Amino acid sequence: MLDDLAPIWQGIPTLTKLFILAALLFAYFTVKNIFRVRGVPGPKLYALTKWRLAYDDWTGTRTRTIDQLHKRYGPAIRIGPNELSFNSLTALKTIYGAGSGFERTTFYRMFDVYGHQNLFTYAGVKEHAERKKLLNHAYSKSSILKASASAVEKKVWEYMKLLETAPEVASETFSSLHYYSLDNITHFLYGDEFGATAALTGSVADRNMLNDVLDPSRRKLAWFAAHLPRYTKWLMSRTGFAERLVAGLGLLPMKKPTTYTGIRKHALAAWETFFAASSDIKVASNATTIIGRLWENHTSQKANGLLDMEIASEAADHLLAGVDTTSDTLMFLFWALSLPENLHFQKKLIAEVAAMPESDFNDQGVPTADATGKLTYLDAVIKETLRLYAPLPASEPRSLPVDTTIDGYKISANTVVSMSPYSLHRNTEVFRDPLVFNPDRWFGEAKEVVEMKKWFWAFSSGGRMCIGLHLAMAEMMTLTAAIYRVYRTKVRAGTENTSPGITSRFEVFYDVSKPYMKEHECWIDFEKQL
């Protein structure tokens, strides 16, 4: 039969042959994709091509679309030829639980700094565990309360002074809370000697570092970095005439300087300042700074230790991670408590803070981090803010190098699987009226509260759980208690129906119950209590 077909094939023009071969290859991979993961429901187009989900990324609707697909198809859905999304406690434990073996995907490599991987971007469990071991103690709750609490309290005092001396600056809380979180994380990482910022006290240069994150085109750059990584790396590394050419042709996803350029420049300068310091000063800083802790494991101190740029990359990554997350959460917290419909929650918080004894405050009148950590209603307010307005609400992709089973589905090796706080926190069977801000839900029936806590995933879980959890909580609880000891807050008149919006990867997240949204802006009026 093949002999009979040979003359026919030979008579076909070369271009037509190429077209036929391309069509056969496309059909082969299409069929292969369809049967790669069998039985998992979802729209057929998502199973056929990864570019369907990439389109959702481009339009900034990925996370909300996946959430709607879960509501339509159930807790397991197929969102790509080689990608699945889950929304169940059993899947959460299987994928993200301690010892699961699941690794981070190449998606995270876009967060490498200075060409080096770091704690956030390591894929392998072993590599991640080894790096985390160097930092665990410094980020522990006991260490934060012992070594860093006074620094956090100082930044709280500076924010309170900003409210008094420059109320209009403080009232635009998206910016002012970024100043607060920036000053906290830089002091924690580098100390006053090497790279601590002074945005709260008026440093224009430090405040300008945040301009990098305000450009909406950062979402476009993130899309290119995720879906066309090699092309993007080549494109954005052009210089001279080549750079002017691609820029002139409109090919650059984002104009330079790009996202976090200023912050990365500051982090590199901080490392260079530290590296130039004397050995005695470097050694002395190991108990008070992250960069000093990392220096203990430098190649000059330990065989097979960290290289210069590995330390710089690690510290810079913590700086990037420690700014938006804390500030965005605090902004939504103040905004939610300041809405007319939520003022009764604010009154409960004010009452709790007012009942704190004088011994819970330092000499500057700021509540101590240790004392605020014990306030139960404040804890509920923060937990509810993180539930509804998680600063990193999108999916966290993972893969396993061997075949496995998740929720009864057989999953081939290297299939990408993910879950998201956005969907977990909006499960209507767990959270009553999930789109409503209600801190009181955390004081409900014991059985329901236990179940909600199981589904609460703002800081991830397992070995990859957010290492900065305790520092972030100290920053948020101390500042919130300090403010509501002195002030009542209201949203700026005329903005009652406008939600603030935050950028996360390719998307803008906001309160969907409000008809309007303003990205990177949130005005709150602070009125002193009588």
CA distance 319 to 263: 8
CA distance 298 to 292: 10
Residues in the chain: 530
CA distance 303 to 324: 36
Spatial CA neighbour of 271 closest among 308, 319, 317, 297:
308
CA distance 268 to 277: 15
Task: State yes or no: 466 annotated in a binding site.
Answer: yes
Q: Which residues contact 157 (CB under 8 A, 6 or more apart)?
A: 364, 365, 366, 482
Provide the H-helix boundaries in 121-172. Answer: 125-133, 136-139, 141-143, 149-165, 167-171
Strand partners, 361: 367
Neighbours of 64 (CB within 10 A): 18
Amino acid at 513: S
Answer yes or no: are the C-beta atoms of 522 and 513 closer than 8 Å. no
Backbone angles phi, psi at 432, to 5 degrees: -65, 135
Left (φ > 0), alpha (ψ -120 to 50) or beta: where does 313 sit? alpha
DSSP E strands in 163-286: the ranges are none
What the block records as the tokens of 485 is: 């000891």
Q: From residue 150, give the alpha-carbon distance in Å to each of 135, 185, 345, 399.
A: 20, 13, 29, 41
Spatial CA neighbour of 478 closest among 369, 340, 341, 350:
369
Backbone angles phi, psi at 84, to 5 degrees: -125, 150
Tokens 């002139």, located at residue: 248
Q: From residue 3, give the alpha-carbon distance in Å to each of 7, 17, 228.
A: 8, 17, 43
CB-based burial label for 294 (10 Å; 0-12, 13-18, 19+) = buried
Q: Residues annotated as binding site?
A: 466
Q: Residues annotated as binding site for heme?
A: 466
